[in-house]
Amino acid sequence: MKNIIELLKRHFVFVLFLFLFVFSLAVLFSSNRYHNASFVSQSSDWVGKIYDWRDQLQRYLRLKEINDQLALENANLRSQLPDNYFFIDTTKHSVQDSIRKQRYFYRSAKVSNASVNRESNYLTLDRGRLGGILPNMGVITNGSVVGVVSSVSDHFSVVLPILNPKFQESVKMKGSGDFGLIAWPPGSDPAYADVKDIPKHVQVSIGDTVLTTGYGSHFPADLFIGFVSELNDQPEENFHRIKIQLATDFRKLSYVQVVGDILKQEQDSLLIQQQQRDGVEDDN
Amino acid sequence: MGSKTITSFFRIVFLLFLQALVVSRLQLLDGFVLPWVYIFGILMLPFDTPKWLVLILSFVTGYFMDLFTGPMGMHMTACVVLGWLQPMIQRLLSPREGYDAIQEPTIQKMGLSWYLTYAGILTFCHHFVLFYAETLRITPFWYQLGHIIFSAMGTLMLMVVGQYLIFNKKVKN
């Protein structure tokens, strides 16, 4: 026993190093698996405040650009007002109105920190649980997709943007409606992403629009994701290799809208019920 | 202990903020060169700092850097390795008469070539561990190695230029 203590004393620094190193590795691997939720939420509020302070300074310098962006968005929204449309067929439209119910709601938030040039990028928003934001809500800006909320603290939330390999969402081609998956090669150019799993028999040409499907219930259907910019089809594969230019400019993100789905729980629980029922039948 | 310790402490805190608020925002060659100058605080610790204190300080520095940059653990791992290697490299590069008369590893006191060797080895090791802790894969090998080497060179350059800017007056007096 005495010898062991002597040994520990002599190699105290090395033992300390090993201890800290193993501890760091444990933190590294656990945070990679769980979207860094547990370690960051304890202190993300004050780090968020520091970033918020820096962002206020930066936003002041970019006021003109943001004004332009807001004016553009105002114009877009104003053009969507019902007054701007007339009904072609009154009976049809009046019936639709009476059975229509709101499904998605939007909350605006400000980006207080963002990375675009890392292997896995994250955004921080200045609204959290108290602002009505919950994990798995979609995040959009000017009608184009940004990402999905991954964790929230009281006043801040962390978003997995398209520019993160963990981001998964189904997408569809505007014309044909065929759907595939969007994937961002880690560390690549933040203006582009890949679309996978669209079979070869579907005709795709450069300039085609890529939209959300609305299946995942993070986003409503038909939001912009981007435009096809390159086709690198390989003869031996059955699927297209599509490169798209993203509609969102992640380098200039400033204000975003967080989308909540009122019927999400209902949709999810129905699916789970069905799956459980099928599971029971399989056992029999 | 005393004023030297306090200076070192505030230097580390200042560099953490400098890194998080300014340097991390630099987009050199679309993020291909990503300098991490906050390790300067660890490299500048006086020669007589106990080894265990160097380790603990590195660990804490890495923890706070992780809070600023995202997934926890990356900077902690890299800094613990840095804090372990720092005294070893110092001993390896020690001049014949030892470090008695000299208190801090600066260019002015140790010379440029000594400093480049010392800081170069440590910066490369830190960036190497940091980068692989971040990606956890080794596939585009040459691209990744280029990223590490050029980022380390960026860090080194900022640290050397920073020293010439900050310590120049002290030497003249």
A170 shares contact with chain B (CB less than 8 Å): no
User: To which residue do tokens 């010392």 refer?
Assistant: B118
B147 to chain A: closest CA residue: A187
pLDDT tens digit sequence for B134-162: 776 666 777 788 888 888 888 888 888 88
- Put simply, whether B114 touches A (Cβ < 8 Å) is no
In chain A, how many H helices and how many E strands?
Answer: 6, 12
pLDDT at A159 (0 to 100): 92
Cβ–Cβ contacts within 10 Å for residue B19, how many?
A: 24
Total number of residues shown for chain B: 173
**What is the tens place of the pLDDT at every residue in B80-122?**
999 888 888 888 887 766 666 667 787 777 788 888 888 899 9
Distance between first and last Cα of chain A: 60
Contact B76 A27 (CB under 8 A): yes
Confidence check: pLDDT of A245 > 90: yes
| pLDDT value of residue A96 | 45
Name the pTM for this structure: 0.57
Average confidence score pLDDT of chain A: 79
Put simply, the answer to whether A24 touches B76 (Cβ < 8 Å) is yes
**Contact present, B107 and B160 (Cβ < 8 Å):** yes
Cβ within 8 Å of residue A139, ≥6 positions away: A109, A123, A125, A145, A146, A147, A148, A149, A159, A161, A256, A257, A258, A259
Report how far residue A73's alpha carbon sits from residue A71's, in angstroms, rounded to the nearest whole number.
Answer: 5
Contact A55, A112 (CB under 8 A): yes
Do B124 and B150 meet the contact criterion of CB atoms below 8 Å apart?
A: no
Q: Please tell me the distance from the alpha carbon of residue A241 to that of residue A87, in angstroms, as a whole number.
A: 42
Chain A residues near residue B62 by CB distance under 8 angstroms: 24
pLDDT in tens, B6-63: 888 888 888 888 888 877 777 676 667 788 888 888 888 888 888 888 888 899 888 8
Are A282 and A167 contacting, i.e. CB atoms less than 8 angstroms apart? no
Contacting residues of A for B52, CB less than 8 Å apart: 12-13, 16
Q: Are A146 and A140 in contact (CB under 8 A)?
A: yes
Would the ipTM clear 0.85, i.e. be above it?
Answer: no
